[in-house]
Structure 1
């Protein structure tokens, strides 16, 4: 099962500069574990081990344009041909 994962600029240091990589897994968690086998260090930037293995607070993950936080989080099921987009949260502005 092939899943396309779009990588934001800030995480491309872990994917040798690639904008998109391919991975496998039945869930988002399994996909991130699979990515870690080829792109060492990326999983730690996505998953917060201190919070029981949930997504880091400032990382947004979309499955086919739907935020996985509104689905089943990292337990969200994946299917062949799905697309995952990883986006760091952007904050700022004027006070």
Structure 2
């Protein structure tokens, strides 16, 4: 199982938990399992075609999956996966 760090805006789907343990051989499977366990969170992370939404960044350890294998990025037991919504703004 991997530990998935949940950002504050999505914690309503995980009963307020900051971290949840989820199994999956790769990021795509992990996200499928996350949504199966915590219904509704998946549509906030992925678009209707299954791609990670533009404003969501996912990291396995310190590596952004966009620079790895995307949803096919392998996940091992003990890995930390972080879901980070993009922040925009300015003066």
**TM > 0.5:** yes
Q: 2:18 & 2:89 partners in 1: Cα distance?
A: 25
Give the structure 2 partner of residue 33 of structure 1.
Answer: 32
TM-score by length of 2: 0.96
Q: Which runs of 4+ in 1 moved over 6 A?
A: none
Structure 2 residue 75 is matched with structure 1 residue 63? no
TM-score by length of structure 1 reads 0.92
Taking the TM superposition and a 5 Å limit, the aligned residue runs for 1:1-95 are: 2-49=1-48, 52-94=49-91
Q: Which runs of 5+ in 2 are unaligned?
A: none
**Matched-pair contact (CA < 8 Å) for 1:62–1:86:** yes
Q: Give the root-mean-square deviation of aligned CA atoms.
A: 0.8
